[in-house]
Amino acid sequence: MKYQRSSALFAAAQKVIPGGVNSPVRAFKAVGGTPVFVENAKGAYLYDADGNKLIDYINSWGPMILGHAHEPVVNAVIEKAKKGPSFGMPTEIETEIAALAVAMVPNIDKIRFVNSGTEACMSAVRLARGFTGKEKIIKFAGCYHGHSDSFLIQAGSGAVTFGAPNSPGVTQGTAKDTLLATYNDLDNVEEVISANKNEIACIILEPVAGNMGCIPPAKGFLEGLRNLCDSNNIILIFDEVMTGFRLAVGGAQELYGVRADIVTFGKVIGGGLPVGAFAAREEIMNHLAPIGPVYQAGTLSGNPLAMAAGLAMLKELNEKRDVYDSINKKTEYLHKGMEAALNSEGIKFTINRVGSMISVHFSDKPVIDFKSAAAANNENFKKFFHGLLNEGIYIAPSAFETWFICDALSYEDLDATIAACGKVAKTLN
């Protein structure tokens, strides 16, 4: 497969954009090689700058649950753009999408729209701190909540020590208020809480982790967190930027039957445009300005084009709920097919799947947290990635990212992907 045009475009981009990309994972640093530059997309397919057609398994990192350039979403944006792309004033469509989201998601009364998942998570933590009057937060190693300073923290040595910044530019003052815990380890969480009694405002996590590959919550883990939060007056924040409106109409809260205090959204809720949101019960949300003391604002928040795309997407999902059964069956079919293909070559691997999120880890041990994800054979993943790319299959260019399946995939596409896996498996260790 030729990537001459992509290579030339990447060289040009590197001269004027740091690393040639506007989000680091796109640079292919984790897998090597030159990133693919896309020209357009439709349904389940990407068409790159060299004219290659690729079956897509990232789907803009999640938003395109119904496929690329989904007609109702595209048409909604076009019609809204004709009336003006931005006003900096309230519009009726903001209320429409807010009312629909509140009706679809359990345990929320009010929602506020922002411009990204990072903004949503940052604002949710600020709101939790303002509501509780406490300053420290617990996050989990391997869970990504955007690039806000509070979230760019790695572990200290033990529950009592503070975290340390893992990005230059993040201050020690910020780090001291962020405590790191181990995903799927309730005992560890309890230890961290005990060592910081009455100081923790919130626990924030991805209910299904997606930034160490797909990592499902262990049985009882979410329920245990809910109990710990109730017992210690801690706000439980579900970062549903990935899982919201994807795993079910009501997201992970609906799928697992566990109540969060604050929920954050992104990706699907924007229909492919830059949208984030955070939501909670009225008592908590009323702490936000202009009616409460916790300040949060955004010039382009509630942008009419973004709201139009998001509203069209949510309406489709709300009215055609059988899409979840369809997309889950397709993901299961892919899972079983890849499993058979890799097993046939004696490859050591683990496949994790929840709904339409799935990832392949080249390890014969269960992958349940960041440590076990990092212990997998990343060299095999690099070969796997490039092997599939050469076969016209585009997966996440990192072993630490989940794949996102879209309903536009046909079973012929899935069969082609499984066949490609079988071919590539012969090249792995």
Question: d(Cα 148, Cα 168) in Å, to the nearest integer?
Answer: 12
Task: State the amino acid at position 261 in one-letter form.
Answer: D
User: What percent of the chain has a predicted confidence (pLDDT) above 70?
Assistant: 97
pLDDT tens by residue, the chain, 429 residues: 788 999 999 999 999 999 999 998 999 999 999 999 999 999 999 999 999 999 999 999 999 999 999 999 999 999 999 999 999 999 999 999 999 999 999 999 999 999 999 999 999 999 999 999 999 999 998 898 988 877 776 533 233 334 456 667 877 777 788 999 999 999 999 999 999 999 999 999 999 999 999 999 999 999 999 999 999 999 999 999 999 999 999 999 999 999 999 999 999 999 999 999 999 999 999 999 999 999 999 999 999 999 999 999 999 999 999 999 999 999 999 999 999 999 999 999 999 999 999 999 999 999 999 999 999 998 999 999 999 999 999 999 999 999 999 999 999 999 999 999 999 999 998
Burial of 316 per CB tally in 10 Å (0-12, 13-18, 19+):
middle
Calculate the CA 87 to chain-centre distance. 29
| 122-158 pLDDT, tens digit each | 999 999 999 999 999 999 988 989 888 777 765 332 3
Structure tokens at 132: 């509780």
pLDDT at position 150: 75
Helices 186-195 and 221-232, interaxial angle, to 10°?
20
Q: Is 139 a catalytic residue?
A: no
Which of 144, 183, 324, 394 is an active site residue?
Answer: 144
The first and second tokens of residue 264, run together, are 């954050």
Which CATH fold would you assign to the domain 72-319?
Answer: Aspartate Aminotransferase; domain 2 (3.40.640)
Q: Exactly one of 136, 267, 330, 383 is catalytic; which is it?
A: 267
Q: How far is residue 383 CA from its own chain's centroid?
A: 24
pLDDT reported for residue 172: 77
Q: Where are the domains of the chain?
A: 4-69+324-347+359-423, 72-319
Residues 215-248 pLDDT 10s:
999 999 999 999 999 999 999 999 999 999 999 9
Rounded to whole angstroms, the maximal C-alpha distance in the chain is: 62
Look up the pTM and report it: 0.95
Cα separation of 124 and 122, whole Å?
A: 6
407: annotated active-site residue: no
* Average pLDDT value for the chain: 94
Residue 132 Cα distances to 177, 218, 244, angstroms:
14, 28, 25
pLDDT at 164: 55
Out of 239, 369, 407, 413, the active site residue is: 239
Question: Is position 267 annotated as part of the catalytic site?
Answer: yes
State the burial class of residue 167 (Cβ atoms within 10 Å of its Cβ: 0-12, 13-18, 19+). Answer: exposed
Peptide bond between residue 290 and the one before it cis (omega within 30 degrees of 0): yes
Angle value at C-alpha 252, between 233 and 315, nearest 5 degrees: 120
Provide the 8-state DSSP code for 352. E
For domain 4-69+324-347+359-423, give the CATH superfamily: Aspartate Aminotransferase, domain 1 (3.90.1150.10)
80: helix, coil or strand? helix
